[in-house]
Copies of this chain bind each other. A is one copy, B any other.
Amino acid sequence: MANGFNVAVAGATGAVGVEMVKTLEKRNFPVKNLKLLASARSAGKTMKFKGEDVVIEEMTHDSFKGVDIALFSAGGDISREYRPFVVESGAVMIDNSSAFRMDDDVPLVVPEVNAEDIKLHKGVIANPNCTTAIMLVAVAPLHRAKGLRRIVAATYQAASGAGAKGMHELIVQAREVLDGKAVNPVAFAHQIAFNLIPHIDAFKENGYTKEELKMLNESRKMLHLPELLVSCTCVRIPVLRAHSEALNLEFENDITPEEARAIIEAAPGVQLVDDPADKRYPMPLDATEKYDVLCGRIRQDISRNDKRGLDIFVSGDQVLKGAALNAVQIAELL
């Protein structure tokens, strides 16, 4: 494939799909031919790629003939339906949905965390949950140095987690509230403007949400740590597109904030933003449209009587590192 790869983007018109196309262009991915796939509703419209108009096609079971890499971001049901057709055509499916993430025969990959797992794929590679991906880019290098045991996480998740309609709802609602008008929540369970909602995805019997349990299960799989302990509270806040997380970390070995800063500074995909005296710390506004996850507020956990605890704060672009960028990075490694 001297001339590059034939790439398909399934769900090209969604918030993540649009960023996948932009990221392929910005990172100069060797695309021989780009196929943009969506529902019949969007077929015939065009999207720009490297200055040229690409016509969006309706996705069918035959769409993947001759395709090398298929980036999927059209929801779990679509991924499940199309998987056999993609694999049969010989393409590799990089799937952003949660459909196959915990399947034994599907590697779940963040390149900075477990790139080596990619080679185990049997036609499908899964992109992790956005909140997990953002967390692990910062936590994995600390784990490699000091051995991670436990995470207590509280998240500050952006409206973009509910797609373009989530961002739209926050913007429309904020103006309605400012104008004293009634609001009508659709994308979220309650009003999100000037409010928060401690509820993302469905609740399970143990009181955690599926989103919160993904932080546990996907972290265990990607870090190859079946005993890792994680408790998480996932909260939607009125921010547009970057997720933040307050992380309380426990390690096997002692770790100082100075060591942690040096590790983060040397790690790929994460940028140290930790100068409180200069009012510099991770914020979603600064993380937006950045490839790197921002990491700061690093301090020795004072709620322990040893040096094995660390508190950190991270912000990362949910649409990029949380989804589109990560998928393209996986494609780059193929």
Contact = CB atoms under 8 A, between A and B. Distances in A.
Interface of A: 150-152, 154, 156, 170-171, 174-175, 178, 189-191, 194-199, 203, 206-208, 216, 229-231, 233, 235, 237-240, 244, 246, 248, 257, 276-277, 279, 281-285, 296-305, 309, 311, 313
Given A178-B174, A302-B206, A276 B195 contact: no
Given A156-B196, A156-B237, 18 more contacts: A154-B246, A156-B156, A175-B175, A195-B285, A197-B283, A198-B283, A198-B297, A199-B281, A203-B277, A206-B299, A207-B298, A207-B311, A216-B302, A229-B302, A229-B304, A230-B302, A230-B303, A235-B244
B237 A238 contact: yes
A178 B178 CA distance: 10
> Sorted from nearest, which 4 A-B pairs have the closest CB atoms?
A207-B299, A154-B154, A231-B303, A154-B246
A283 B305 CA distance: 34
Contact of A195 (B229, B246, B283): B283
Contacts of A171: 178
A231 B238 CA distance: 25
Contacts of A189: 279
B196 A284 contact: yes
B198 A299 contact: no
A150 B309 CA distance: 13
19 contacts: A156-B235, A171-B178, A194-B239, A195-B239, A198-B244, A199-B281, A203-B277, A206-B300, A207-B276, A216-B303, A229-B303, A229-B304, A231-B248, A233-B297, A235-B244, A235-B246, A237-B239, A238-B238, A238-B239
